[in-house]
């Protein structure tokens, strides 16, 4: 370190000209000293780093950039979240503030014994403040307290206060009980849990109009204005909540490409199905006319069903060849008739007199089908355009970064990577380098140990020592006093003995794992300029197989070989907050085994629930519809539980796996199961028929599911019941985070409705309007949930949208073609064929028919001139294996039941379905071949235009910091040393604790202190950040890099 470096009394270091880099690392030669027990905050052992510079113009220095980020505010100018104006609060927070004074709502206001004379609210807040003061050492006299928001000037190396961080490091030596503040928790809900945008300067000092019409007009006028998303907990710039109705659609990309594309798809399909419904109006009118059905529906509540193929014009006819015990006829479709004159018995069946398959209906439906295909193609092109628009609108770390998937194991020197790209790629400027090592198991153990220790801290009494002897004594005492019931409850809900036992195991594992060698597994490189990233990706655009085999002949320029001998496999990484660092290095075979097992469990769950739905359907059609809706709501939780056993390197990969499970279940449970369990002859039935069940499903989806989502009962329970009774601020904040939001679940909900619509398009044209309305409601309901009730989601990329367009949308179109052909071939859905002869004297007379399976007795008059009918199988799905049944065309019918027009329509639809299947198969094969080909040849194509914005100039930018989410902490646990990381590289800020509180490396330092640990490779991942400089220093800095 340069001799001019020195530390002031606050612990901040002023670096000389030779110190332009901040590094976070542990496990190398210096970190080994730390693990042996040396001072972890000593920087003397750090090697000197060369400086690197960049700049766009003479006036664009890093200090100015940082001032722009902070809005020219200092720590004293930070915004107090507790002083928010009431009109800027959520309604839940307003209600909670009004109820906080009542003890039945907020038990935290109980007056402490030693503060009886103070007001209850002041006493509770004072207790919380005193707790924080006990845990934070006071700053030296005349100095300001250290903050997470540290800013560096050009040439400065920012270091946090060493003593401050050491005192705040977790775990504490004793259990602490700070008094949580419900008011702070609701401020956390409004400012951290919910997404907010920066208030434009032109609106910051405007007075709010009291006229509601004026306010609404102003919001419409500002609908096209660009909004900048604020970081969670932004305290330097004024922010406000996004408005669910008035936020422009183009701003939905602020939540990530994946979410923006989801809402774009939702809106596109809403419009497309509405237009398709208009195109299908002739069929709607035909099915509503007397020409099709002489007894139209009279129930006004089901008026939309009047435009379906439901047939109420039926007649009981003698059918001696019918089997009264044939369950495929369905209840009320077959019965025994007794001749009122002779007393003879014979079998009667109910015939449908509706002719649904005409040239008009078939061709209109076919035109609608082709319109849907065209609409999907246009949607595909539009989504590609929106992908570019969203990507260009929001600059993220992904736009500047690459990830090296096959680095040499010993390539753990960030300076080497910086010099390589600067020298070999025309001066590519590297700003952040994250070297990830293969320590997944160690990280998972550290996270679990931190969680167990946190649980123990909450269970023991305040002030109890957390050393091993004390915890072992408490655990042994409790286990000794347990009886049978206590042991039984401990197996369900672990107590102190179980947590301590697991803690001991984890401690031993960590001590062993920390002594292993961990080679570099992936290198995340963030460049200062977007052009540098694109240049590197283009130059190293090779397939994974040549890179794995180090086929150096595949690269055009030998200078791009790392160390002149290694061919790097480089691609654009996922967004920083979607990287799953705890599963980053799981082997491919293990991932396949895990996914195969969970898929098998999913198929078993689908079969079980299908059986339950059938039992419900036997009792009530409406009951079956609500059972399906309930299972569709509950199963995503089961799917998430199964997916939690899978290792995924990114959230995008996890979402795809989750998407497949939920979509498979919902498609089968919603559409296919109903068709299978509903008897063929009940397809056109009014009360318990197939179409009535579909209508009930749409009604349940629009009313029940949407109502539950808007009501958010679980969220209100957590915020208003559980949060006020939480024992810690962390637990209280966790209750405020909202319900977990899974993009895969929302995509499957959309495709489920679309699939249900196209599956029954031929016999229920009105479903297109129901689909459009349901998706329209979902669009605004999901916007509201995204901005008011859902937990913050990672910035998902476009993979989910691409996966849906590649597989599920084409499969839906195949289902539409195949089922359209099937339904047009099945009319009139009664399994009766006309013999084209008179029935004769044998069956003439009056008959009393007793329908089997329910229904009132019916008196039927049969004339000798009536047509005679026999049983014939009209259901192609029930044909034997040796019978030709597909495609569903007229020549494959065993007996003649189709009319001439029906045969024409059936043939056209049948061969159309074959053509669609072939096209979809060819499309999938082309995609698979392209994926296979890209294993040998690169596939990089830039998305959108270079925005000419430097990485360090982007507000709210973040870097690839290894971190893991935990259900017991309000913020992620960090899997690398944080003392030297620029706070601006994080995408979150805890206003109450420093980043070192979440640093897992400090846990390892405590566990390994005093041991003889020596390792060749890093134990933890490391981050190196080079602070940018103005153009004035460019020339000298470039010379320094060349001299490295």
Terminal Cα distance for the chain, rounded: 16
Q: Which of 601, 744, 623, 600 lies closest to 674, judged by CA?
A: 623
How much is the pLDDT for 482? 84
In a domain, 309, yes or no: no
Which residue positions in the chain have pLDDT lower than 50?
1-76, 111-169, 220-221, 300-301, 1014-1017, 1030-1039, 1044
Task: In whole angstroms, give the CA distance from residue 125 to residue 119.
Answer: 10
Burial class (CB in 10 A: 0-12, 13-18, 19+), 116: exposed
Cβ 673 vs Cβ 654: under 8 Å: no
Task: In whole angstroms, give the CA distance from residue 306 to residue 290.
Answer: 11
Cβ 860 vs Cβ 348: under 8 Å: yes
For helices 809-826 and 743-759, the axis angle rounded to 10 degrees is 20
Cβ 904 vs Cβ 360: under 8 Å: no
In a domain, 104, yes or no: yes
Reported as type and span, the H/E element at residue 391 is helix 359-393
Please list, in sequence order, all residues whose beta carbon lies within 8 angstroms of the beta carbon of residue 501, skipping any fewer than 6 positions away: 475
Task: Report in angstroms the alpha-carbon separations of 630 from 609, 660, 700, 709, 772.
Answer: 11, 19, 9, 13, 22
Q: Which domain holds residue 989?
A: 6-61+100-176+961-1043
- Which structure tokens are listed for 907? 């043939």
Task: In whole angstroms, give the CA distance from residue 805 to residue 809.
Answer: 5
Q: Which residue has the tokens 């050492």?
A: 137
Q: Reduce the DSSP state of residue 361 to 3 states and report it.
A: helix
* Total length of the chain: 1044
Taking the CA atoms of residue 94, residue 95, residue 97 and residue 99 in that order, the dihedral angle to the nearest 10 degrees is: 170
- Which structure tokens are listed for 718? 């957590």
Task: In whole angstroms, give the CA distance from residue 847 to residue 869.
Answer: 16
Task: Report in angstroms the alpha-carbon separations of 421 from 412, 527, 940.
Answer: 15, 10, 19
In a domain, 995, yes or no: yes
Task: In whole angstroms, give the CA distance from residue 998 to residue 996.
Answer: 5
Task: In whole angstroms, give the CA distance from residue 818 to residue 815.
Answer: 5
Task: In whole angstroms, give the CA distance from residue 515 to residue 1015.
Answer: 7
In a domain, 886, yes or no: no
Cβ 809 vs Cβ 376: under 8 Å: yes
The one-character DSSP state at 792 is P
* Pure H helices in 885-899: none
In a domain, 871, yes or no: no
From the CA atom positions of the chain, what is the Rg in Å? Answer: 34
Task: In whole angstroms, give the CA distance from residue 160 to residue 981.
Answer: 9
How much is the pLDDT for 786? 93
In a domain, 106, yes or no: yes
Task: Report in angstroms the alpha-carbon separations of 253 from 376, 506, 783, 795.
Answer: 21, 41, 12, 9
User: What is the pTM assigned to this prediction?
Assistant: 0.79
In a domain, 125, yes or no: yes
In a domain, 973, yes or no: yes
- Number of domains within the chain: 1
Interstrand relation of 13-14 and 6-7 (parallel, antiparallel or unpaired): antiparallel
């Amino acid at each position: 370190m340069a001799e001019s470096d020195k530390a002031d009394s606050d612990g901040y270091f002023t670096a000389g000209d030779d110190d332009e880099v901040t590094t976070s690392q542990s496990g190398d030669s210096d970190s080994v000293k730390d693990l042996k027990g040396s001072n972890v905050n000593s920087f003397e052992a750090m090697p000197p780093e060369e400086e690197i510079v960049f700049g766009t113009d003479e006036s664009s220095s890093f200090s100015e950039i940082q001032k722009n980020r902070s809005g020219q505010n200092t720590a004293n100018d930070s915004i107090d979240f507790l002083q928010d104006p009431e009109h800027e609060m959520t309604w839940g927070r307003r209600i909670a503030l009004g109820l906080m004074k009542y003890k039945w709502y907020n038990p935290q206001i109980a007056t402490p014994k030693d503060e009886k004379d103070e007001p209850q609210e002041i006493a509770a807040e004072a207790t919380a403040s005193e707790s924080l003061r006990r845990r934070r050492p006071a700053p030296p006299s005349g100095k300001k307290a250290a903050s997470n928001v540290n800013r560096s000037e050009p040439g400065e190396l920012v270091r946090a206060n060493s003593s401050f961080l050491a005192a705040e490091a977790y775990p504490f030596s004793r259990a602490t009980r700070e008094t949580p503040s419900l008011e702070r928790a609701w401020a956390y809900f409004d400012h951290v849990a919910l997404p907010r945008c920066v208030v434009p300067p032109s609106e910051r000092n405007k007075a709010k109009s009291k006229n509601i019409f004026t306010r609404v007009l102003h919001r419409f006028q500002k609908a096209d204005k660009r909004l900048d998303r604020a970081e969670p907990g932004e305290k330097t710039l004024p922010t406000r909540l996004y408005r669910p109705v008035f936020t422009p659609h183009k701003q939905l990309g602020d939540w990530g490409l994946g979410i923006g594309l989801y809402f774009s798809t939702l809106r596109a399909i809403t419009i497309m199905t509405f237009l398709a419904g208009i195109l299908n109006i002739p069929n709607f009118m035909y099915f509503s006319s007397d020409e099709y059905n002489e007894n139209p529906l009279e129930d006004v509540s089901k008026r939309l069903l009047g435009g379906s193929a439901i047939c109420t014009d039926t007649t009981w006819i003698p059918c001696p060849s019918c089997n009264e015990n044939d369950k495929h006829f369905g209840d009320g479709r077959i019965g025994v008739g007794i001749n009122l004159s002779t007393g003879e018995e014979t079998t009667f069946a109910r015939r449908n007199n509706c002719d649904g398959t005409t040239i008009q209906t078939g061709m209109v439906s076919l035109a609608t089908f082709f319109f849907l295909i065209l609409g999907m193609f246009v949607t595909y092109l539009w989504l590609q355009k929106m992908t570019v628009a969203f990507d260009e609108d929001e600059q993220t770390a992904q736009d500047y970064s690459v990830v090296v998937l096959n680095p040499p194991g010993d390539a753990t020197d960030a300076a080497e990577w910086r010099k390589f790209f600067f020298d070999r790629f025309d001066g590519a400027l590297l700003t952040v380098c994250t070297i990830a090592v293969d320590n997944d198991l160690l990280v998972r153990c550290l996270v679990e140990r931190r969680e167990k220790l946190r649980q123990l801290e909450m269970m023991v009494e305040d002030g109890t020592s957390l050393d091993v002897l004390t915890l072992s004594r408490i655990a042994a005492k409790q286990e000794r006093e347990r009886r049978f019931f206590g042991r039984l409850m401990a197996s369900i809900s672990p107590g102190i003995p179980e947590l301590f036992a697991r803690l001991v195991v984890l401690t031993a594992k960590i001590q062993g794992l920390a002594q292993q060698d961990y080679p570099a597994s992936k290198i995340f490189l963030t460049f200062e300029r977007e052009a540098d990233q694109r240049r590197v990706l283009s130059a190293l655009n090779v397939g994974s197989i040549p890179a794995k085999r180090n086929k150096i002949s595949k690269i055009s320029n030998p200078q791009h070989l790392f160390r002149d001998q290694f061919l790097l496999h480089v691609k654009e990484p996922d967004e920083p907050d979607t990287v799953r660092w705890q599963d980053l290095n799981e082997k491919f075979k293990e991932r396949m085994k895990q996914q195969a097992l969970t898929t098998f469990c999913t198929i078993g769950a689908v079969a079980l629930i299908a059986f339950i739905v059938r039992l419900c359907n036997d009792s009530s059609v409406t009951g079956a519809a609500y059972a399906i809706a309930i299972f569709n709501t509950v199963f995503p939780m089961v799917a998430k539980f199964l997916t939690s056993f899978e290792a995924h390197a990114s959230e995008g990969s996890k979402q795809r796996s989750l998407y497949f499970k939920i979509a498979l279940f919902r498609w089968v449970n919603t559409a296919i199961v109903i068709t299978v369990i509903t008897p063929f002859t009940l397809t056109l039935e009014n009360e318990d028929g197939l179409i009535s069940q579909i209508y009930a499903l749409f009604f349940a989806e629009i009313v029940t599911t949407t109502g539950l989502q808007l009501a958010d009962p679980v969220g209100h329970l957590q915020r208003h019941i559980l949060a006020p009774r939480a024992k810690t601020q962390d637990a209280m904040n966790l209750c405020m985070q909202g319900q977990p939001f899974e993009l895969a679940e929302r995509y499957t909900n959309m495709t489920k409705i679309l699939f249900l619509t196209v599956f029954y398009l031929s016999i229920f044209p009105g479903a297109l309007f129901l689909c459009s309305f349901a998706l329209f409601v979902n669009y605004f309901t999901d916007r509201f949930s995204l901005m008011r009730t859902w937990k913050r989601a990672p910035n998902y990329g476009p993979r989910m949208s691409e996966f849906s367009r590649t597989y599920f949308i084409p499969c839906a179109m195949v289902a539409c073609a195949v089922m359209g052909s099937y339904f047009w071939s099945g009319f009139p859905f009664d399994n009766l064929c006309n013999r084209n002869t008179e029935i004769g004297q044998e069956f003439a007379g009056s008959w009393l028919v007793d329908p089997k399976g329910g229904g009132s007795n019916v008196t039927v008059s049969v004339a000798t001139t009536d047509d005679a009918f026999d049983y014939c199988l009209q259901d192609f799905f029930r044909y034997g294996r040796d019978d030709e049944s597909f495609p569903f065309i007229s020549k494959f019918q065993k007996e003649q039941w189709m009319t001439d027009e029906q045969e024409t329509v059936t043939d056209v639809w049948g061969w159309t379905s074959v053509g669609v299947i072939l096209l979809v198969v060819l499309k999938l094969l082309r995609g698979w071949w392209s994926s296979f080909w890209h294993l040998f040849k690169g596939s990089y194509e830039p998305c959108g235009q270079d925005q000419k914005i430097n990485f360090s100039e982007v507000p709210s930018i973040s870097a690839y910091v290894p971190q893991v989410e935990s259900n017991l902490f309000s913020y992620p646990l960090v899997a690398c040393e944080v003392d030297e990381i620029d706070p601006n590289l994080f995408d979150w800020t805890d206003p109450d604790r420093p980043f070192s509180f979440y640093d897992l490396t400090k846990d390892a330092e405590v566990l390994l202190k005093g041991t003889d640990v020596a390792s060749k490779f890093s134990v933890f991942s490391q981050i190196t950040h080079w602070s940018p400089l103005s153009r004035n220093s460019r020339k000298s800095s470039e010379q320094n890099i060349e001299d490295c």
